[in-house]
Amino acid sequence: PLAFSFDKKPWTGDNTPAPYAFLAHALVTLCETRSRIAIINTLTNTLRTLLRYHIPSLAPALYLLSNSLSPPYYPIELGIGGSIISKAIQHVSGLSSTALKRLYNSCGDVGDVAFEAKSNVRTLVPHPPLLISGVFKSLLDIAHAKGQGATKQKQGIVEKLLVAAKGEEARFLVRTLSMNLRVGAVRTSILTALARAMVLTRPSSLLVSESDDSPYFAGPRLVTSVKPDSNEKKKIHDPSRDEILKKFANAEVLVKKVFVQHPNYDHIVAGLLECGLERLPERVPLTVGIPLLPTLGSPTRSLNEIYELLGDLPFTAEFKYDGQRAQIHAWRLENESVSVRNFSRHLENMTEKYPDVVLLVEHLFKRSPELQSFIIDSEIVAIDPNDGSMRSFQELSNRARKDVKIQDVKVSVCVYAFDLMYLNGEVLLAYPFRQRRALLRSHFAPMVSENTGAARLHHVESCESETGRDSIDEFWMRAVESRCEGLMIKLLDSGDVQEASRSEKDKNRRKPLPATYEPDKRTCAWLKLKKDYVMGIGDSLDLVPVGAWFGNGRKAGWWSPILLAVRNSSDGKLAAVCKCMSGFSDAFYKEITAKYAADSENCSKQPRWECITGGFKPDVYFRPHEVWEIRGADITLSPVSSAALGLISSARGLSLRFPRFIKVREDKKLEDASTSEFLAGLHVNQQSKGEKMAEQDGDD
Ligand code: ATP
C-alpha cells in the first residue's frame, strides 16, 4: 500500500494554482487499481476539478498524466540519465551511496527509492508547495538546458524539485523524471476522462454564473474516486443517469476522433475552452503540418482467410513494401515556396532524415501548379539508384538520421504512395478508399528524376479482387518472390461483412465495414498477409528483452538465452513470455553482452525493474528499454509464463514456441511492445484455424 501525506493546508480551489500534491494523490489512486472504471473515474474527477478551479493546470496535468512533455511530433526529451536522479536523491536525503544501493536492491523502483529516502528527511524551513504548472515548467527547463554546464543545471533543478517534494510527490516526481510513471492510465482512458469531465463540469472560463447545476459535480476535494451506487436497479431506470451516459458516449467518440486527427493536448484544451465540446472538431480539425495517427493493418494467415473475412466485397491487394512508413505533409506558402513535413509511423518528425524526399515534393509542386496542399501515406523504400529495383530494409536503416545534407545521401529511396488523406484544403478521410486512390493516382503521377540518386515517387503495385482469384493468387506469388514482406489487402468500397461469431445464432449477423481512412484503427478493411504468416503464427511480436542466462559452450561469455516480455495494456507492466536463442548473429551477441554488461545501469543480478517473470528464473535482469521483433512457430499454454495469465486460462500463461530474433525495432518504444491481449488474440486465431483445418480434413 502506498502512503499519502497531504500538505497541512489543503487546496481550496478558487483559481489558485493547483498543487502537485493533488495530482500525486490521483496517481496514488491510479496505482492502486487495475479496474478501468476506477481509473476513468479518478481521471475524470481530477480533470473536472482542474477545469472548474484552475484551468491553466489542465494541459500540464494531461502531459504529466501521460508522462510526456509535448505532442509526439514535436518531441521534447528530458535528457537526464539515471545517475543525475540518483545523485539528486543522495544529496537531498543525505544517504551514503551504500545505503542508497541497498534501498535500490530492496525497492527495485527509483521512485520508491526516492519516497523511502525522503521519508526520513526533516526540513526545518517549510518549502512552498509544488504546483502542477511549476513541476511541468521545471521539466521543460530540464529539457531545454543545453551546452556547457547543462548537466549541472539539470541536476540543480531535479534537486530543487526533490527538496520541495513531500510524501508521495517524491515517488511520482522521480518516476516522471525517469519516464516510467507506472500507472495504468493509457491514452484512451485520459481522453475518455477529458470528455466526461467536459460533460460534467463547465470550465470556469465558460461559466455564465458561479453555480454549477450538474448533479455529478465534484468540488476541489482531494477525493478522486466515485463510489458506486448500491441500488443498481434504480440506476438503470434513472433517466438523468441514462442521459448522462449517452452524453458521455457521444463526447468520448468526439474527443477521441479529434485527438487521432490532431494529437495535441494544448490545442484540444484551448478548443474545448473556447468553443465547448460540440464545436471542437471545427476548432481543432485535421491540419496539414500536424500528423494524424495512421490506419493500422490486421494480421491474417492466408488468402483463404481474407476471402472468408471480406466475402464478396471488392478489395485491392498491394505489395507490402519493406521500408519505413512516411506520412508526408506539404503546402504551398504565399511566396510560392513549399513547406514539407515527413512523419514516421509513430509521428516523429523525420523531415531532416530525408532531404531528398523534400526535394521530390518541391518538384511535385513545380510540376503541378494546381497543387496547393496534401497529406499522403506512403512507404519509403531503399532502391538501386540506377534501375530503381528495391533494396533491403537494412540498407535504408543505414541512412543517417539528423542534419542530413542532400549531397551526403548515399542510399537512394523511392516513395511508394498508397493513400491520400488531404488534398488542396479538403479532408478526404470520409471518402471510400477507391475514391481516395483515384485522386492519388490522378494528382500524383509517378516521378523519376533525371538525376541519379534523387528520390522517386511511385504508386504501389496492386491487383484487384475483381480480376479474379487466380490473378490474386498469382500476385501473391510475385510478392513472395520479390523483396516485399507480403501483401496489404484493402477494402475498396464500404460494405457489410459477416460478424465473426462462434455461436449458431449470430452466424448470419452482418456488420458494416467502412472503407474510409480510420486513424489509429485496426479493422478488417486493412489486412496484412506477410510471407512468414503463412508458415508461422499470425504476426511477428514486438517483445522487450528483460533478462538473460549465462551462455554455455560456444556462447560462454555472452548472454544466451534472452528472456523476452510482452506488455499488459491494463497496467503497463511487462510479463515474461519466452526465452529466445535463435536468429542472433555472433556480432549481435557481442553487442548485447556489452550493452547489458553485468552490474551496469542496464543489468542487475537482482530484479530491479518491474517485470512479472512468473516461473522464469534468469541469471540477470535487464533494464527494459528496447523492443525486438520476434517470430515464432506457435503460441502455447505454459505453466511457467505469466504473460496473458487469466486471458485464456486462469492457471497458465502463454508462451511462444521456437522464437526467432528478426531485428531491433528502433522505431518502437516500450509502450508499442506487443500486449498480452494481442498475444491472446493470436492464440485464439491459431486455435480456430487449427479447428477449421481439422474440420476440413474431416470433410475430405
Ligand atoms: P503496425 O503498424 O500494424 O502496428 P508494424 O509497425 O509491425 O505494425 P507491419 O506489421 O509490418 O508493421 O505492417 C504495417 C506496415 O506495413 C505499415 O505501417 C507500413 O509501414 C507498411 N506498408 C508497406 N507497404 C504498405 C502498403 N502498400 N500499404 C500499407 N502499409 C504498407
For 78-121, write each residue's pLDDT tens digit.
Answer: 999 888 999 999 999 999 989 888 888 888 788 999 999 988 88
Q: Quote the ligand 1 centre to 322 CA distance (angstroms).
A: 8
Closest ligand 1 atom, residue 460 Cα: 27
Predicted confidence (pLDDT) at residue 139 exceeds the cutoff of 50: yes
Q: 438 CA to middle of ligand 1, Å?
A: 21
pLDDT for the residue 533: 60
- CA of 321 relative to ligand 1 center, distance in Å: 8
Of the pLDDT bands very low, low, confident and very high (cuts 50, 70, 90), residue 506 is low
Give the nearest ligand 1 atom to 294 CA: 18
Confidence band of 578 (pLDDT split at 50, 70, 90): very high
Q: Kindly tell me if the per-residue pLDDT of 558 is higher than 80.
A: yes
Which residues neighbour 238 within 8 Å (Cβ) at sequence distance 6 or greater?
Answer: none
Contact (CB, 8 A) for 322 and 483: yes
Q: Which band of pLDDT confidence, cut at 50, 70 and 90, is reported for residue 127?
A: confident
Give 532 Cα–ligand 1 centroid separation in angstroms.
14
What percentage of the chain reaches a pLDDT higher than 90?
Answer: 59
Instruction: Name the residue of 300, 344, 345 whose CB sits within 8 Å of the most ligand 1 atoms, as the mutation to test its pocket.
Output: 345
- Nearest residue to 201 via CA among 65, 64, 47, 61: 47
CA of 346 to the centre of ligand 1 (A): 12
For ligand 1, is residue 318 a contact (CB within 6 Å)? yes
Q: Distance between CA 235 and CA 166 in Å, rounded?
A: 40
- Kindly report the protein residue whose alpha carbon is nearest to atom 29 of ligand 1: 488
> DSSP 3-state assignment of 578?
strand
CB 531 within 8 A of CB 480: yes
Q: What's residue 8's pLDDT?
A: 44
The amino acid that residue 63 corresponds to is Y
Going from the Cα of 118 to the center of ligand 1, the distance in angstroms, rounded, reads 47
Tens digit of each residue's pLDDT (9 = 90 or more) over 149-177:
999 999 999 999 999 999 999 999 999 99
Q: Please tell me the predicted confidence (pLDDT) of residue 142.
A: 97
Judged by DSSP in three states, 491 sits in strand
Instruction: Flag whether pLDDT at 422 surpasses 70.
Output: yes
Question: Which of 315, 379, 433, 458 has most ligand 1 atoms within 8 Å of CB, for mutation?
Answer: 379
325 lines ligand 1 (CB under 6 A): yes
Closest ligand 1 atom, residue 318 Cα: 27
Question: What are 626-656's pLDDT values in tens digits?
Answer: 999 998 877 889 999 999 998 999 889 999 9
Any atom of ligand 1 within 6 Å of the Cβ of 673: no
The reported pLDDT for the residue numbered 62 is 97
Question: From the CB of 460, is ligand 1 less than 6 Å away?
Answer: yes
Bigger pLDDT: 492 or 403?
Answer: 492
Q: Residue 451 pLDDT > 80, yes or no?
A: no
What residue type is 68 in one-letter code? S
Residue 334, classed as helix, strand or coil, is coil
Q: For residues 27 and 182, what is the distance between their CA atoms, to the nearest angstrom? A: 9
Closest CA to 614 of 661, 566, 684, 675: 566
The answer, yes or no, to whether any atom of ligand 1 lies below 6 A from the CB of 418, is yes
Contacts of 239 (CB under 8 A, 6+ apart): none
Per-residue pLDDT at 393: 87
Q: What is the pTM of this model?
A: 0.77
Percent of the chain past pLDDT 70, that is, above it, reads 87
What is the atom index within ligand 1 of the atom nearest the CA of 320?
24
Chain segment 528-545, per-residue pLDDT in tens? 998 866 656 667 899 999
699 pLDDT tier (thresholds 50, 70, 90) = very low
At which residue does the C-alpha cell 465495414 appear? 513
Cβ partners under 8 Å of residue 142, min gap 6: 78, 79, 80, 154, 157, 158, 177
pLDDT (tens digit per residue) in 223-254: 333 444 444 444 455 668 888 899 999 999 99
pLDDT at residue 463, as a whole number: 97
Instruction: State the closest ligand 1 atom to the C-alpha of 522, by its place in the atom list counted from 1.
Output: 3
| Residue nearest ligand 1's atom 24 by CA | 320
Question: Residue 205 — pLDDT band, cuts 50, 70, 90?
Answer: low
| Residue having the nearest C-alpha atom to atom 19 of ligand 1 | 325
Whether residue 379 has its Cβ less than 6 Å from ligand 1: yes
CA of 379 to the centre of ligand 1 (A): 8
Q: Read off the pLDDT band of 211 (50, 70, 90).
A: very low
| The pLDDT of residue 449 is above 80 | no
Q: Is the pLDDT of residue 334 over 80?
A: yes
Give residue 296 CA to ligand 1 midpoint distance, Å: 7
| Mean of per-residue pLDDT scores for the chain | 87
More confident residue, 324 or 207: 324
CA end-to-end span of the chain: 60
Atom of ligand 1 at shortest range from CA of 324: 20
Average pLDDT estimate for 690-695: 46
Please tell me the distance from the alpha carbon of residue 556 to that of residue 346, in angstroms, as a whole number. Answer: 38
Q: Which residue's alpha carbon is nearest to atom 31 within ligand 1?
A: 320
297 Cβ below 6 A of ligand 1? yes
Å from CA of 297 to ligand 1 middle: 7
Regarding the beta carbon of 267 and ligand 1, being less than 6 Å apart is answered no
Atom of ligand 1 nearest to the CA of 539: 10
Q: Which residues are catalytic?
A: 320
Q: Which of the four pLDDT bands, split at 50, 70 and 90, describes residue 581?
A: confident
CB 528 near ligand 1, within 6 Å? yes
Q: Report the atom number in ligand 1 closest to the C-alpha of 319.
A: 27
Residue 424: which pLDDT band, with cuts at 50, 70 and 90? Answer: very high
Task: State whether the beta carbon of 341 lies less than 6 angstroms from ligand 1.
Answer: no
Higher pLDDT pick, 1 / 17: 17
| Grid cell digits, residue 17 | 494554482
State whether the beta carbon of 668 lies less than 6 angstroms from ligand 1.
no
Atom of ligand 1 nearest to the CA of 668: 6
- Which of 293, 295, 296 best tests ligand 1's pocket when mutated (most atoms within 8 Å of CB)? 296
CA distance 188 to 194: 10
Residue with CA nearest ligand 1 atom 18:
325
Name which residue leads in pLDDT, 571 or 184. 571
- pLDDT score of 502: 56
Task: Report CA(325)–ligand 1 centroid distance (Å).
Answer: 7
Ligand 1 contact via 541 beta carbon (within 6 Å) = no
State in Å: Cα 22 to ligand 1 middle: 41
| Binding site membership of 345 for ligand 1 (Cβ less than 6 Å) | yes
Helix H, strand E, coil C: the string for 118-153 is: HHCCCCCCCCCCCEHHHHHHHHHHHHHCCCCCHHHH
Q: What is the pLDDT of residues 260-298, one digit of tens each?
A: 999 999 999 999 999 899 999 999 999 999 999 999 999
Which residue type sits at 638? S
Span 595-614, average pLDDT: 90
The stretch 55-65 carries a mean pLDDT of 95
Distance 294 CA to ligand 1 centre (A): 10
How far is the C-alpha of 177 from the C-alpha of 136, rounded, in Å?
11
Is the beta carbon of 488 within 6 A of some atom in ligand 1?
Answer: yes
Whether 210 has a pLDDT exceeding 70, the answer reads: no
Q: Does ligand 1 come within 6 angstroms of the Cβ of 581?
A: no
Checking if the pLDDT of 593 tops 80, the result is yes
The DSSP secondary structure of 380-444, one letter per residue, reads: EEEB-TTT--B--HHHHHTS--SS--GGG--S-EEEEEEEEEEETTEE-TTS-HHHHHHHHHHH-
Does the CB atom of residue 626 touch ligand 1 within 6 A?
A: no
Q: For residues 103 and 32, is the Cβ–Cβ distance under 8 A?
A: no
Ligand 1 lined by 296 (C-beta under 6 Å): yes
Query: What pLDDT does residue 679 have?
Result: 93
CA-to-CA dists, residue 137 to 83, 88, 141, 199, 644, angstroms: 22, 18, 6, 29, 39
The interaxial angle of helices 20-31 and 132-144, nearest 10 deg, is: 90
Q: Report pLDDT for 12.
A: 60
Strand 628-631 and strand 541-550: the pairing is: antiparallel
pLDDT at 478 over 70: yes
Report the distance separating Cα 306 and Cα 299, nearest Å: 10
